Amino acid sequence: MLAEDGVLLREGLAGLLDRFGFSVVAAVGDAEALVDAVTGHEPDLLLTDIRMPPGLTDDGLRAAVGLRRANPALAVVALSQYVERGYAAELIDSGDGERVGYLLKDRVVDVEDFVATLRRVVAGGTVVDPEVVRQLLNHRRDPLARLSPREREVLALVAEGHSNAAIARTLVVSEAAVGKHVGNILAKLDLPPTEDTNRRVLAVLAYLRGSGAA
């Protein structure tokens, strides 16, 4: 299920999803049609632009949040033109915080990563754009200042919903090393240690958000 008001991009995304074995049950161009289509087709995943007609502000997000309140099992990935932590927060707070993703629109062009992200969300993951994490890290001082640069990198990947194994592959280190980093991070942030990727993401995000400014 796909909602995007730019025709070219909508077709491009539809092609991409087809190519990777998703079946696009509906592709719509405004928030009202989005709600109707989701209600009619009951898709596994909703991929939507945040800025959509008719209001051209955050209509797509509003619709998605509403749909998720009604049905927390609906996986939603929202695409945003710019980083707005408020958007990410609203999305994660709708439902139980699982099966949601908040990505910058530009990420779709890294086709394989993007599709992998979609799959993670459908599988129950939580994904937040690395830029959001970067800004949150940028924003805060203590106790994040105590994190080493490597730990910050790992934290960003954790927030993106990667498993230890995936993080190890990305950073080209051993999985055990990643585990140690994650343990250190959680300890420094006074978060309960957990192996569950999702709960980890949520805990980290909640921490960053709760103590962040604005």
Partner 1 sequence: MAHRRFLLGAWPWRSLGHLLGTALILLAMVPPVSLLCLPWAAEVSRLLSPFPLTFGTAVVWTAVGGVSLALGLPLLAVPLARLERRRLRLVDRRPVEDGRQRLSTSDLRTRFRVRYTESATWREVGYLLLLVVLGPLLCLVAGLVVLTPTMLLSSPFLVRAGEPPIAAVFTTVTTRGQALGCATLGLLLVPVSAYLLALLAGAHAAVARVLLHGGQEPLRAELVEVTRSRARLVDAFEAERRRIERDLHDGAQERLVSLTLRLGMARLDLPRDTPAYQNVSAAHDQAKQLMAELRELVRGIHPRVLTDRGLPAALGELADRCPVPVSVRADLPERMPAPVEATAYFVVSEALANVAKHSGADSVSITARREGGLLTVEVHDDGTGGADPDRGTGLTGLADRVAVIDGRMFLSSPAGGPTLLRVELPCDQNVRSA
The binding site for partner 1 (CB under 8 A) comprises: 6, 8-9, 11-13, 15-16, 19, 51, 57-58, 81-86, 105-106, 108-112, 135-136, 138-141, 213-214
The least distance separating partner 1 from the CB of residue 39, rounded to whole angstroms, comes to: 26
Residue closer to partner 1, measured from CB, 16 or 34: 16
Residue 97 region, left (φ>0) first, then alpha (ψ -120 to 50), else beta? left
Distance CA 149, CA 156 (A): 11
Sheet holding 2-3, edge to edge: 27-28, 2-3, 45-49, 75-80, 100-104, 126-128
Residue closer to partner 1, measured from CB, 61 or 158: 61
- Listed residue (130, 149, 148, 150) closest to 204, CA to CA: 130
Residue closer to partner 1, measured from CB, 8 or 172: 8
The least distance separating partner 1 from the CB of residue 86, rounded to whole angstroms, comes to: 6
Residue position matching structure tokens 């049950």: 25
Distance CA 144, CA 204 (A): 11
Residue closer to partner 1, measured from CB, 108 or 178: 108
Burial class (CB in 10 A: 0-12, 13-18, 19+), 158: buried
The least distance separating partner 1 from the CB of residue 91, rounded to whole angstroms, comes to: 15
Residue closer to partner 1, measured from CB, 111 or 165: 111
Sign of the torsion angle spanned by Cα atoms 85, 87, 89, 92: negative
The least distance separating partner 1 from the CB of residue 165, rounded to whole angstroms, comes to: 24
Residue position matching structure tokens 């092609």: 15
The least distance separating partner 1 from the CB of residue 214, rounded to whole angstroms, comes to: 4
